[in-house]
Amino acid sequence: MATTTLTLKELSKKEDRFTHGHRMCSGCGAPIVVKQLMLASDFPLVVANATGCLEVSTCISEYTAWKVPWIHNAFENAAATLSGVESMYRSLRKQGKIDKEIKFVAFGGDGGTYDIGLQSLSGAMERGHDLLYICYDNGAYMNTGIQRSSATPIGADTTTSPVGSVIKGKTQPRKNLTRIMAAHGIPYAAQASPAHWRDAISKFKKALEIKGPKFINVIAPCNRGWRSSTDDAILLSRAAVDTCYWPLYEVEDGVTRITYVPKEKKPVEEFLKPQGRFKHMFAPGNEHLLAQFQAEVDREWDRLNREAREQTPEKA
């Protein structure tokens, strides 16, 4: 499906449906992701928001940054809540009580998506609800104290996988949730980065135009948990892509397509070094930790390229 990407001039003229004044941390990647989705959409939206940083900081008592219908639900049931709303909408359209086309979007962090909310997310995808689920992946439970999640990269220092004499950060590699969602056989799954805004907005627009369940995983740096500078969100998002730690690709109708290939694949240390959670990897004697991380990135990048080549339709 061809989707026209909006220009910056066109985007600047659109209504801001996610306003300033919220209490997200300075330099957080999550509100950038939300703004890009809101700007990408020409449809009326209903948003469900799993408990987390985004939820707790954007709607406080009677004050809200959302200019669309917005539903706060628990960590575990954003996809289930939105499934019910979408089902009600389809019934009302069938009865002739609603005649406009409305789109349904859920936002959740990696804790509420990879872990606590995985069951309801999988159920919504399997049942075929016409909704888009967006995970803003900051790689830990940032809202509750920077505990490790299954999205946390191997070796990361968190409050529940602390670097010390027993372990050197998280001992397991991160879960590849985008692949898990694509394996549900849904019409569309993708990865995006706020640093590559044209690619991200194009994917958001495409997903909203496709009928059925869609999933987009977006990297969202957290300077508090990553122990990076407050102005590094875009720099780190770009480094994640250029090192192929966070490759940009989409799986549409079962066909994998890489949407951005770095001109030069950079070493993963360029993504890791600005982050305090990985500083131990650069200490003398820990070179093997960095090599292990690089090997994991290379293995996943090679697998993705192989999959994309194998699934590319042959030209007539």
CATH of span 8-311 = 3.40.50.970
216, β-bridge pairs:
134, 190
Q: What share of the chain is helix, strand, coil (3-state, %, to 5)?
A: 40, 20, 40
Q: How confident is the model at residue 8 (pLDDT cuts 50, 70, 90)?
A: confident
Delimit the domains of the chain by residue range: 8-311
3-state secondary structure (DSSP) of residue 276:
helix
The pLDDT tens digits for 212-266 are 999 999 999 999 999 999 999 999 999 999 999 999 999 999 999 999 999 999 9
Q: How far is residue 233's CA from residue 31's CA, in Å, rounded to a whole number?
A: 11
Can you read off the two tokens belonging to residue 269?
């240390």
What does the radius of gyration of the chain's CA atoms come to, in whole angstroms?
A: 19
Residue 313's pLDDT is what? 67
Q: What is the DSSP code string of 65-130? A: SB-S-EEEE-TT-HHHHHHHHHHHHHHHHHTTS--S--EEEEEEEHIIIIITTHHHHHHHHHHT-S
3-state secondary structure (DSSP) of residue 167:
coil
pTM for the full predicted model = 0.95
Amino acid at the residue 204: F
Residue 1's pLDDT is what? 46
Percent of the chain scoring above 70 in pLDDT: 97
The pLDDT tens digits for 53-66 are 999 999 998 899 99
The pLDDT tens digits for 68-93 are 999 999 999 999 999 999 999 999 99
What φ, ψ does residue 311 adopt, rounded to 5°?
-100, 0
Residue 179 has pLDDT above 50, yes or no: yes
